[in-house]
Amino acid sequence: MTATTHAFDVDKQNFEAEVLQASMSTPILVDFWATWCEPCRTLGPLLEKLAAEYNGAFRLGKVDVDTQQELAAMFGIRSIPTVMLVKDGQPFDGFTGALPEGQLREFLARHVQPLEAPPTDADADDDDAVPETPEQAINRVQQAIAAEPDRPELNLDLAMALMRAGRTSAAAAELAALPANLATDVRAVRLRHQLDLARALENAPPLDELQQRILADGNDWAARDLLGVRLLLEGDAAAGLDQFLTIMQHARDWNDGQAKKRLLAAFATLDDAELVGRCRRRMASLLF
C-alpha cells in the first residue's frame, strides 16, 4: 500500500512510534491483512476511504501478516481481516471479518469523535448516582434477556457481570455458549483472558510463599509467573507485569514463551492505558 496522510504501512521498525506512541494523541485503526485474502481486498479500500473522510480523527495502519508475522503474533491474530482500534497505547476495540460500510461507520462512531459533546444536566445527575453492584447488574441483564431472548449480545453482558461478581464458572459457561460472531468480540476476548488468568491461580501457593520462593531462587520462573498473576488479579497490576517482564528479559522462551502470553492477556484486561502503554513498549524492546 502507498502511504498517505491518513494511512500507512506498519512494520517492526515503526510500530512503537507510529502505533503505540501515536495512539496516545490520535486513535490508530490497525488493519491486519494479506494480499491473498479476498475479504481483505474488500475491506481495505473501505477503511482507506473512511480514514480520508475522517480527515485525521484517526489514522489507518496496515499490517501485512505475511511479512510482519511477529506483530500479528503479538496481537494474537488468528484470522484475517482483523481490525483493532488502538487508543492510549493499547487495543481498545475491534472486529474480525469484512464488515459492510454501514457497520464500519457505526463502529467508528462509537469511538472516534472529533468533538466532544458538552456535559448535560443528565450527565451531572448520573455522576451523583450510586454505582450498580455486580449482583444488581446480573439481575438487570437477566431481566433484559427474559424480555429479549433473541439478543445474544445480552448473554455476553451477563457473562461479564458474572465475572465482576467473582462467579467464574457461570461466566465461563455463558462465554462458551455465545454464537461464533460474538466469540471474537473484543469484550469476549477480554473476558476469556480474565478467566484464563483466574484459572492459573487454582491451587496456587499464597502470595508470601511465592515471594519466599523467589527470594530463595531468583530464577524460579514458575514462582515468578504465579506471583505475577496473583499481583495482577489482586490489584497491583504494575508489580505483576514487572514479574512477567523479568521472565521475558532473562528466560524469554521459558514454558513456551508463557511470560509473553501472560503480558498479552494482561494488556487485554487492564484499563490503565498509561501502564499498558509503558509495559507494551518494554515488551516490544525485549522482542525486537
* Residues designated as active site: 37, 40
The SS3 call for residue 92 is strand
- C-beta separation of 16 from 61 below 8 A: no
Q: Are strands 82-87 and 90-96 parallel, antiparallel or unpaired?
A: antiparallel
The four Cα atoms 93, 157, 162, 240 give a dihedral, to 10 degrees, of: 10
The four Cα atoms 151, 154, 159, 164 give a dihedral, to 10 degrees, of: 180
Strands (E), 127-254: none
Question: In terms of Cα–Cα distance, which of 27, 84, 89 is closest to 54?
Answer: 27
Angstrom distance (rounded) from CA 17 to CA 252 = 24
Count of positions (residues) in the chain: 288
The SS3 call for residue 206 is coil
SS (H, E, C) 175-196: HHCCCHHHHCCHHHHHHHHHHH
- C-beta separation of 16 from 24 below 8 A: no
Q: What is the identity of the amino acid at 31?
A: D
Q: Which residues make beta-bridge pairs with 181?
A: none
Q: What is the identity of the amino acid at 163?
A: M
- Burial class (CB within 10 angstroms; exposed 0-12, middle 13-18, buried 19+) of 76: middle
